[in-house]
Amino acid sequence: MRIKASFHSKTIIFACALSLLFWALYPVMPQAFALSIEDERKMGQEFLAKIRGQFVFVDDPFTNQFFNDLGNYLIKSIKTKHFPFHFYIIKSDTLNAFAAPAGHIFFYSGLIDKMDTIDMLAGVMAHEMGHTSGRHLAQRIEQSKKIGLATIAGILAGVLIGGEAAGALVTGSMAAGMQAQLHYSRNDERQADQLGFKYSTSAGFDPSGLIKALNKIEQERLGETNVPPYLLTHPTGPERMARLDAMVSNFVPGPPKKEVVRLRALFPSFKTVLKAICLDPNYAEKIFNAELKKPPMPFCPILDWELFV
């Protein structure tokens, strides 16, 4: 258990350090978007290469097809696409998802597993698309110099030194960095919520999905010292939640759309296959045995088993 916790901590630290270092190393330019489309595209490729070197991606035809079908369906609502979107599932029980440079969107299998409905998953995905459409990462390059290289140095020092001393270094650096990061991200979060609401409702999903997803992730919070990573970069303050509630309360749903019906029917199978791929085999067996004891679902789509060959 100690080994798992240590690896988990180092993984989160690496992800934070990578993100901060990535923005700080690139030159800052004075225009509204500090980064050109082409530069961000190049950065996206470099970022993807670094992530691939650190994490294991889910490499399964059915789950990747479903996940990409959902993403590609949602982006039909985006009028101006600065980049082609790409969607990835990282094999980890961490509760996190993020939009990287140039339309690369990453979800951790742990977060997907917590999503009870396709609307919850679509809500989070649409929100991340809002960050990409708003080019928030490009704008925050200017802000990265306000966070400072000292933050990055502290985090990296914690990783390299290790032991008990690392905890103090990382905690202090993270606290200072995150305080500034949250301050600068409020407008980004507001715009991403608005754009995500537009994308999810235009596609035909229940917009309350994002609220339910955030509440579900919030339930995993254990005090102030053990906060799911997604909440560190996407804080759920009362002001934000009230704004989301107001948007949902004024929404009038339309008739169900064919693609939403299809994705909703396949969603339980998608989650089941993802569990089988990502969980420890013994633990997965216990979960599946417990599921078999429950009453059968009224409808279970038949999978194309050739996808698994």
**Tens-digit pLDDT string for the chain (309 aa):** 444 445 455 555 555 555 545 544 444 444 445 568 888 888 788 878 888 888 899 999 999 999 999 999 999 999 989 999 999 999 999 898 988 889 999 999 999 999 999 999 999 999 999 999 998 877 765 555 454 444 533 443 333 333 443 454 455 544 445 444 434 368 889 999 999 999 999 999 999 999 999 999 999 887 666 888 888 778 888 999 999 999 999 999 999 999 999 999 999 999 999 999 998 877 777 777 777 777 765 555 545 444 433
* Sequence-separated (6 or more) residues with CB below 8 Å from residue 225: none
Neighbours of 25 (CB within 10 A): 12
User: Nearest Cα to 129, choosing from 147, 106, 105?
Assistant: 105
In the block, tokens 């035809």 appear at 61
**In the chain, what are the domain boundaries?**
2-258
The per-residue pLDDT for 218 is 93
* Sequence-separated (6 or more) residues with CB below 8 Å from residue 68: 87
The per-residue pLDDT for 161 is 34
The per-residue pLDDT for 229 is 80
Per 3-state DSSP, what percentage of the chain is helix, strand, and coil (rounded to 5)?
A: 70, 5, 25
Q: How, if at all, do strands 104-108 and 86-90 pair?
A: parallel
The per-residue pLDDT for 274 is 97
Distance (Å) of CA 108 to CA 28, 87, 105, 227, 229? 30, 11, 10, 16, 11
pTM of the model: 0.76
